[in-house]
Structure 1
Amino acid sequence: MATVDEPDPEERGMLPVPGVLVTAGADREHKNAGGVAYRPAARMDAIANSLGAALADAVAAERDRGTAFLFLPVILCSGAALYWALPLEPPFTFVAAGLASCLLARAFLPRAGVWRLLSTILIVSMLGMLAGKLETWRAGTRMLGSEIPTFVTGRVVALERQASGRVRLTIDLRSTDRPVLRYAPERVRLSARSLPAEIRAGDRVAGYARLFPPSGPARPFGYDFAFESYMDGIGATGFFLSDPESVSLDEAPDWRAVLSARIADMRQAIAGRITGRIDGPEGQIAAALIAGTRAGIPEEINEALRKTGLAHVLSISGLHMALVAGTVMFALRFVFALFPGFASRLPVKKYAAAVALLAAGYYLLISGAAVAAQRSFIMIAVMLVALLFDRSAITMRNLAISALIVIAIAPHEVVGPSFQMSFAATAALIAAYAWWSERRSDRFTGGQPARGSTVGNGLRLFLLYCAGIAVTSLVAGTATALYGVWHFHRMAPLGLLANLGAMPVVSFVIMPSAVLAGILMPLGLEGFALDVMGWGIGVMVSIAQWLAQRTPFDAVGAIPLSAVLSMTIALVLVTVLSTWLRLAALPFLIVGIALIAARDLPDVLLSEDGNLIAMRTRAGELAVSKERPNRFVTGIWMDAAMTHKVATPVSTSESLTAVTTAQRASEVFVCNDTGCIARHGGGAMVAFVPAGGNAGSLCGFVDVLVIDDATAANPCASAKVLVVIKRDLARRGSAEIRLAEEGEEPRAEIRFAVREPYRPWHDHRRYSREARGMPPYKREP
């Protein structure tokens, strides 16, 4: 039998190929003493064959596990997200023609192959676009075009009492007067200083109010309030100039209005019972957890919860639905266990699941049925129904079914933070649990675990529970951090510690006592349960405030959309795939991290109303052009620019040109009656001129000129000066400007938040006075 000799040094790394004869003149072949030939490409061929076989096995395993179905909601989400991101509104005929073309292509393509797979993906994507188009058409919200005062009369849909003492009302408008609006919105949201005690949801109110059109994003790629208002049916916001009054009803409401009013009134009654028993912020948080009324929570408490990553406790979501359903199921099964004969004869687990489903539905009703709560109810309902049909409850397949239902009902949610963070966290937890279960089963030998002492077992269970909370918080926090940073530009560095300390209180004290209070409330016996709940909330708030004071940072700045998309693909691949194919996520993760590391934060930010400008300084501050800037907008800008402090302007009696000529402009705005000016750290000059100011005198000195006057024209002949007029901001929304680095030629690049032509939720912008180049409205004497 021939043997294979050790190859020469230059032949190392080549694989022997038995049975191959060496012929004269064979290129790049080597023969050993045994007559076995070596080819330089043989090793690569063997590796390729091995990888091909491993890939085929992995694909077959994924196919057998039904992974293809799990990608359906991902593709559907992609189609819906693509629709919302389009630069213009596609007509129905375009979407229908695209879907029909994909269906025809799939019908005539072979039954197997790459083209058939691509056609299927395109069909599902087009269905996502069609769902978005249908929702936009169904919403059809009338949006107010311009700020205006008018006398409004309407029916109260809902009311919320805020921490400031004001009351926020959602009103279905019936009429307007002085002036009569020719294109009045159907529903508005107004705040009032006070409200007559007898007014409830369903009553009719009237009063003089100032209405504002829904605002756009505070910065490009920011949270779009106009988009959310359009989808919620809110056509205007504002406030009553005087306290509204109750007026008599001149028409009988339909059954939907009556039912909605009764539910809203019941929620307010429940919230009143809660806050009447639990004083202070704890009572407002308890009302938010049970009745969904969050307006009364003080802002400092909200901020502490945000900094520590506990703000998710306030939003009625999957956690709350799961705790409510889990508490009911556990309590019922405990009661059934007291009757062994009954429990052994009947499927008590299914009975408990059915009652838990009813409890979750009731909780959805009294909590206000917000979109996040609806989505959470769908998720928990799918899992409970799976139990009723003897299926596994917590599976990725059930999560996919839930996602498909949510997308079909409200496809606009796919671009919102609630949907993204909720499904990202749930998918990551299910995937992590599946991975851990698989590893655990591989290590299981079949032997019985050793029995320890009662104290030892108790300590072991406690440590396992703490480890479970830590791992759960770490996995869910990691999966949702990307979307928290994208939408809010913030993250909670001490979130793991906060959740480790607070979640046991939430799981074992707050939510179980909330369920008990809800059961006992019709009997008037909820006092003790609410006391326990209030105590638990106090512990949670104390943990949040203590850690918030020690949080080193929370604002992390804006990140590019490309990084979010790349890392989302990585997250999908890691959670959906179950074999070594998960490694395909690694390149997308690396690219996403690289894009974040190379990001370029905005240097100058402009508000959409044109009366506020801010600049990021090298000292880590946000220099603003007003002594008292809008706190809400400024807060968003600080987080996006990763700054920690606001630098207010410095007053001067000199002219702006004199300040510029004398080189006294600094990174803090220097202002007088004619405007403000500042020098960026890179050397560029930025100026802000109000209406009536002499903007033309600054053209030869500045690189960016912002004019708060919709009627003004560009006063600068030089194209090197970036001139932004209030009319530009009224039409295209807030803006970000990036300036050249020090040593480079002065230049400025601007990006607006709104694109033209308008999508339906921005179309109202064209009708404002500022967008048409008109001065502000003044009532004739």
Structure 2
Amino acid sequence: MHPRHWGPRVEAWLEVERDQLFLWTPVMLGVGVAAWFVLLSPVEWLAFLGLCAGVALVAAVAASGTRLRRALLWSAALAALGCGLSWGRAERVAAPVIARPTIAQLSGRVERIDLLPARGTMRLTLSGLGAGLPDHVRVSVPLDPAPPAVHEGDAVSLRARLVAPQEPAVPGGYDFARISWFQGLGGVGKALGPITVTPAPRGGPSLRERLSAHIRAQIDGSAGGIASAFASGDRGGIAQSDEEAMRDSGLTHLLSVSGLHISAVVGAAFFLTLRLLALWPRLALRLPLVAIAAGAGAAAGIGYTLLTGAEVPTIRSCVAAVLVCVGIVLGRDAFTLRLVAAGALAVLLAWPESLVGPSFQLSFAAIATIVALHEIPAVKARFAKRDEAWWGKVAREIGALLLTGLAVEITLAPIALFHFHKQGLFGALANIVAIPLTTFVTMPLEALALLFDTVGLGTPFWWATGKSLDLLLWIARSVAAWPGARAALADMPLGAFALIIGGGIWLILWKTRARLFGLFPLAAGVLIAAAAPPPDLIVTGDGKHLAVRQTDGSYAILRDRAGDYVRQVLAERGGTLAELSDLDGSDGASCSADLCRATLSSGGRSWRVMATRTPYLVDRPLFEGECAAADIVVSDRRLPYWCRPRWLKADAVLLAKTGGLAIALSDQSVATVRTPGDAHPWVRAAEANFNSGGANRRGGPARGRGRRDTAAPRNAHSPDRGEHSRPLPHGNI
């Protein structure tokens, strides 16, 4: 087709799709937000803004009156707005970050309490700590032997060890530093010893605290923790093993107060208000009962959102629920993609950083998929209500739930694999029982129990609530234990993820056959993700932990005493569901007390890896020979200049610049936590922390120095320190 014919055809297509154009408003705003997070420096951010300005200028001077012109103009403006919003918010929330690990006496006021009885601890967010300390810190306080009687607003004094919020330990890991930056947290730590509490005037436990404590007193264990999560958003009482079972079975969305819970509360308030007011004929004849009931539902949703802590998923669901109530009042169809787009737009304008988090992506992807699926004419006709036998209605409802659950699972799988490196596969089946159980049994029973507790008659309802939650946990544990219940992926490149998300959005938002063009980027993203090689070596940012891929796809770890958290991080990054074994004794590896040597085959050749595993010194002749024979050397120390492996020396000096590493030997690619030139404020804070000495390691370089050594440092593997060395014969390595 000649290019001059493209314009009229595109214009005709946009005219047909004119009702869908508004749906792209949050998408283009999100493109700008994502650009700020992906691009590295102010120069690149300004270049992006300049590109948007150029596109807008071209569109502005183009032929007027066309939808394509207006679409380009608005898209460029929204993308620029998204980038500017992200940049501005990152600077607006900027707060001091602790420079180095320190032990300090803290005296401040409690802003937030997160009680985690299943982990034996509580987290206190403190403010007003005085000069020399961050504005806000979060301190973990053990609950054993007795929890301190502290409430929000109280003044506390305690001694704690504080560190800066940590960047990901390995590439693709959880970026606590970024999240803490937008939360205003300048340090995290653990209390050392008892705390002194000065109650606030007119203080005491908040409604949320009292509600959580009351529910956990009625129902023990994880069931009580889930009941508390439904009512107040407090998930601290759920055992970690049960949380993992909920996640692996595809039911973890039930633990986060979001669309399901808000819908139940708003729907219950709407129904009860309408039924109660209808009992008075005079009111029913004179007042708009539907509008009043919608207002009551909206008020209930807002109150429930505030009660549960007003997290972003809850706010998103509340905005959507309020818009549904407004649509009911106006007599409009409320359950549309326009509603979803309006909710996404509201959240992005207020919290643009939420776009890059899994919560925003999972929640909006799920609701958009559900709405788009049931807007398809064939699906709408197949599952529309009709006069039929009761068993036909039940079968139709089960079919609708199964189809919806399957569609949502397919949509959420790439998001879960990108962020968490694993995903449950049987969530659609589990949700067929779990969602009705939660919506129509557990939550109504819990509401009745709380209501009847006001007159001391809630015990039977609490018993029934506990039994329903035991059933929910049994479903989660059973499904999670099925063979093949989980899928794992070592790495999904950012480009592949962007292609999948872009293709999925294109498929969902358009109505005509042009939507099928979204299949091409989606398929390309899937193929790229599937072809990405798993890492052969994973090194944590401190250099202490190394995972080596075995021939069966599992991983062996350098230090067998590594904790559960480190093992989980390394296993997730490796895309394996198997337990990490000990490198000592694994195939192709041999270890002594101080060093480990492993031989791997990849890319048509053998690779020799050597790693230190203790802080003790080794004689120079032995260590220099091992370095020369190795392709890769890994150490948590600063190695001397004469340690020269054939390819890569991942010691404290290099890791200080790169952070953790994921190395694929087949194509000799190295993924890093840090990227040179990254000027995002939380990255700058982490680098300043290291340069100030906050991340200085044993045997590491002096403060701020990154130059190459010209002589062996005093604490290196030097022969003149033989009285402290532990020489190793080659046969023992």
SS at match of 1:368: coil
Structure 2 counterpart of 1:136, one-letter code: A
Residue number among 151, 160, 163 corresponding to 1:200 in the alignment: 151
Map of 2:610 onto structure 1: 687
Measured against aligned partners, the alpha-carbon deviations of 1:537-559 in whole angstroms (never above 9, x if no partner) come to 11111111112221424142122
Give distance in 1, aligned partners of 2:380 and 2:542: 57
SS at match of 2:400: helix
Distance 1:56 1:158, change over 3 A: closer
Give distance in 2, aligned partners of 1:459 and 1:643: 43
SS at match of 1:646: coil
CA contact (8 A) 2:111 2:127 kept: no
Please show how residues 62-77 of structure 1 align to structure 2 within 5 Å.
Answer: 62-63=17-18, 66-77=19-30
Give distance in 2, aligned partners of 1:753 and 1:510: 43
Map of 1:585 onto structure 2: 518
Map of 1:707 onto structure 2: 635
SS at match of 1:481: helix
Residue number among 658, 666, 669 corresponding to 1:740 in the alignment: 666
| Structural RMSD (CA) | 3.2
Distance 1:650 1:186, change over 3 A: closer
Residue number among 518, 526, 532 corresponding to 2:464 in the alignment: 532
Give distance in 1, aligned partners of 2:512 and 2:608: 56
- After alignment, is 721-730 or 225-234 more displaced? 721-730
CA contact (8 A) 1:671 1:677 kept: yes
Map of 1:728 onto structure 2: 654
CA contact (8 A) 2:163 2:189 kept: yes
CA contact (8 A) 1:95 1:130 kept: no
Q: Does residue 216 of structure 1 match 2:167? A: yes
Residue 512 of structure 1: CA displacement?
2.2
Residue 94 of structure 1: CA displacement?
7.1
Map of 2:683 onto structure 1: 762
Give distance in 2, aligned partners of 1:595 and 1:136: 32
SS at match of 1:685: strand
Please show how residues 654-669 of structure 1 align to structure 2 within 5 Å.
Answer: 666-667=586-587
Distance 1:56 1:409, change over 3 A: closer
Structure 1 alignment gaps of length 5 or more: 1-43, 253-257, 652-664, 742-747
Measured against aligned partners, the alpha-carbon deviations of 1:129-174 in whole angstroms (never above 9, x if no partner) come to 0111121122113222322222222212222332445332223244
Structure 2 counterpart of 1:214, one-letter code: P
Q: Does residue 189 of structure 1 match 2:142? A: no
Map of 1:360 onto structure 2: 301
Residue 357 of structure 1: CA displacement?
0.8
Residue 427 of structure 1: CA displacement?
0.9
CA contact (8 A) 2:216 2:228 kept: yes
Distance 1:555 1:438, change over 3 A: closer
CA contact (8 A) 1:291 1:367 kept: yes
- After alignment, is 111-120 or 473-482 more displaced? 111-120
CA contact (8 A) 2:249 2:485 kept: no
CA contact (8 A) 2:123 2:140 kept: yes
CA contact (8 A) 1:216 1:224 kept: yes
Please show how residues 30-41 of structure 1 align to structure 2 within 5 Å.
Answer: none
Give distance in 2, aligned partners of 1:154 and 1:632: 30
Measured against aligned partners, the alpha-carbon deviations of 1:228-272 in whole angstroms (never above 9, x if no partner) come to 1111112211111213222477xx8xxxxx9xx77x622111011
Q: Does residue 278 of structure 1 match 2:222? A: no
Measured against aligned partners, the alpha-carbon deviations of 1:293-312 in whole angstroms (never above 9, x if no partner) come to 11221011111111110011
Please show how residues 465-504 of structure 1 align to structure 2 within 5 Å.
Answer: 465-504=397-436
Structure 1 counterpart of 2:350, one-letter code: I
Please show how residues 137-536 of structure 1 align to structure 2 within 5 Å.
Answer: 137-164=91-118, 166-175=120-129, 182-194=132-144, 196-247=147-198, 265-339=206-280, 342-343=283-284, 345-436=286-377, 440=381, 457-517=389-449, 519=451, 526-536=458-468
Map of 1:716 onto structure 2: 643
Map of 2:730 onto structure 1: none
Residue 692 of structure 1: CA displacement?
4.8
CA contact (8 A) 1:666 1:680 kept: no
Map of 2:726 onto structure 1: none
Structure 1 counterpart of 2:550, one-letter code: T
Give distance in 2, aligned partners of 1:234 and 1:534: 37
Measured against aligned partners, the alpha-carbon deviations of 1:70-107 in whole angstroms (never above 9, x if no partner) come to 11110101110111111124699778767766665555
Structure 1 counterpart of 2:429, one-letter code: L
Distance 1:594 1:198, change over 3 A: closer
Give distance in 2, aligned partners of 1:187 and 1:243: 18
Residue 396 of structure 1: CA displacement?
0.9
- After alignment, is 550-559 or 320-329 more displaced? 550-559
Give the count of matched residue pairs: 686
Distance 1:775 1:61, change over 3 A: closer
TM-score by length of 1: 0.81
Distance 1:730 1:166, change over 3 A: farther
Distance 1:732 1:206, change over 3 A: farther
Measured against aligned partners, the alpha-carbon deviations of 1:420-441 in whole angstroms (never above 9, x if no partner) come to 1111111111111111468629
Q: Does residue 614 of structure 1 match 2:547? A: yes
CA contact (8 A) 2:219 2:466 kept: yes
Q: Does residue 678 of structure 1 match 2:571? A: no
Structure 2 counterpart of 1:190, one-letter code: S
Residue 751 of structure 1: CA displacement?
1.8
Structure 2 counterpart of 1:544, one-letter code: A
Q: Does residue 624 of structure 1 match 2:557? A: yes
Distance 1:344 1:672, change over 3 A: farther
Map of 2:717 onto structure 1: none
Structure 2 counterpart of 1:166, one-letter code: G
CA contact (8 A) 2:49 2:83 kept: no
Residue 595 of structure 1: CA displacement?
1.2
Distance 1:730 1:289, change over 3 A: farther
Give distance in 2, aligned partners of 1:318 and 1:647: 37
Higher CA-based Rg? 1
Measured against aligned partners, the alpha-carbon deviations of 1:198-225 in whole angstroms (never above 9, x if no partner) come to 3222112222211121111233233311
CA contact (8 A) 1:152 1:173 kept: no
Residue number among 4, 11, 14 corresponding to 1:59 in the alignment: 14
Please show how residues 111-126 of structure 1 align to structure 2 within 5 Å.
Answer: 111-112=64-65, 117-126=71-80
CA contact (8 A) 1:159 1:170 kept: yes
Structure 1 counterpart of 2:666, one-letter code: A
Residue 608 of structure 1: CA displacement?
1.5
Give distance in 2, aligned partners of 1:395 and 1:75: 19
Structure 2 counterpart of 1:578, one-letter code: K
Residue 404 of structure 1: CA displacement?
0.8
Percent identical pairs in the alignment equals 26
Distance 1:523 1:381, change over 3 A: farther
Give distance in 2, aligned partners of 1:669 and 1:284: 45
Give distance in 1, aligned partners of 2:69 and 2:297: 45
Measured against aligned partners, the alpha-carbon deviations of 1:585-624 in whole angstroms (never above 9, x if no partner) come to 1211221222123121111111122211111212232110
SS at match of 2:511: coil
Residue 109 of structure 1: CA displacement?
4.1
Map of 2:731 onto structure 1: none
Residue number among 502, 506, 521 corresponding to 1:569 in the alignment: 502
Give distance in 2, aligned partners of 1:732 and 1:420: 28
Give distance in 2, aligned partners of 1:132 and 1:477: 30
SS at match of 2:300: helix
Distance 1:472 1:774, change over 3 A: closer
Residue 686 of structure 1: CA displacement?
1.7
Give distance in 2, aligned partners of 1:668 and 1:355: 68
Structure 2 alignment gaps of length 5 or more: 701-733
